[in-house]
Amino acid sequence: MSQRRNRQSNTEVDISALEDAIKECVRYIICREGSKIPIKRGEVSKHLTATCHTTPNQVKTVLIEADKILKRVYGYKLVQVDSQSGVPYIVVLTEECESLPSPVTDVQHRTILIAALMHIFMTGAPIKEDDMWKFLTEAGLMENENDQTVRKLLTHTFTRQMYLEYTKEGEDDLARHVFQWGARAVEEVPKPFLLGKMAEAFQKEPEYWGEQYKNAHQDTEV
């Protein structure tokens, strides 16, 4: 029993000793969140080493405790996502919203993002690049299919923010690029909201699209 108490005491002392690092970690994450760009664990470690002299083997504990504060105080959580390099985290809301979180982008970018995600969701499969440009042009969100500003928004900005995945499929003459939902969209964007927007636009009930309705609500029924 005494050994158990000693272990608990040591843990408390360790966390107490890391208090400044934990606070700095929270501050750093909140500041970085504004860009929506994933935060790599290596970047957090480097920052904490420079500001608080945190050692690499303490970073995991600092992140765990910082995540608790993010949830309790700010309503955010850290989510680790797959990546080919480093260990990236994205910061998302702990509770699912009834709409797309407001700080996503400016109004025009927000509209384009909603449209792109909705097109992928309603199609039920990755969207070929050319089909996406055609859809956005017909929706009046691109001046034409060669609108480089909107193209860059989808292929660079939203991809870096992990709202979209932009990947190459096939080789040689059969090669093509496709869009699909990214890790942040999966975590942060409520599908019932998108389906509701679709129903509103076509003046129908969401249940009209049976497969999409089932997809949108299956997670909430778990």
Q: CA-to-CA distance for 211 and 218, rounded, in angstroms?
A: 11
Residues 6+ apart with CB under 8 A from 38: 81, 83, 88, 89, 90, 160, 161, 162
pLDDT of residue 178: 97
Q: Are 173 and 128 part of one and the same domain?
A: yes
Q: Are 120 and 177 part of one and the same domain?
A: yes
Q: Are 80 and 126 part of one and the same domain?
A: no
pLDDT (tens digit, 9 = 90+) per residue, 68-103? 999 999 888 898 887 766 678 888 766 555 555 554
Q: Are 86 and 135 part of one and the same domain?
A: no
Task: Using the 3D structure, point to which of 68, 93, 118 is the last residue of a domain.
Answer: 93
Residue 133 within any structural domain of the chain: yes
Residue 202 within any structural domain of the chain: no
pLDDT of residue 218: 81
pLDDT of residue 10: 45
Residue 126 within any structural domain of the chain: yes
User: Is residue 150 packed enough to be buried (19+ CB in 10 Å), middle (13-18) or exposed (0-12)?
Assistant: buried
Q: Are 89 and 44 part of one and the same domain?
A: yes
Expressed as residue numbers, the domain containing 136 is: 107-189
Nearest to residue 118, comparing CAs of 195, 177, 184? 195
User: Is 111 a residue whose pLDDT tops 60?
Assistant: yes
pTM across the whole model: 0.79
Question: Where residue 147 sits, what CATH number does that domain have?
Answer: 1.10.10.10
Residues of the chain with pLDDT > 90, as a percent, come to 55
Quick check: 133 and 148 in contact, CB under 8 A? no
Q: Are 116 and 81 part of one and the same domain?
A: no
Q: Are 181 and 137 part of one and the same domain?
A: yes
pLDDT of residue 8: 47
What integer best gives the mean pLDDT of the chain? 85
Residue 14 within any structural domain of the chain: yes
Task: Using the 3D structure, point to which of 93, 117, 140 is the last residue of a domain.
Answer: 93
Domain count, the chain: 2
Q: Which two tokens stand for residue 48?
A: 């904490």
3-state secondary structure 141-153: CCCCCCCHHHHHH
Cα–Cα distances in angstroms (integers) from residue 101 to residues 104, 187, 188, in the given order: 6, 11, 8
Residue 196 within any structural domain of the chain: no
pLDDT (tens digit, 9 = 90+) per residue, 115-137? 999 999 999 999 999 999 999 99
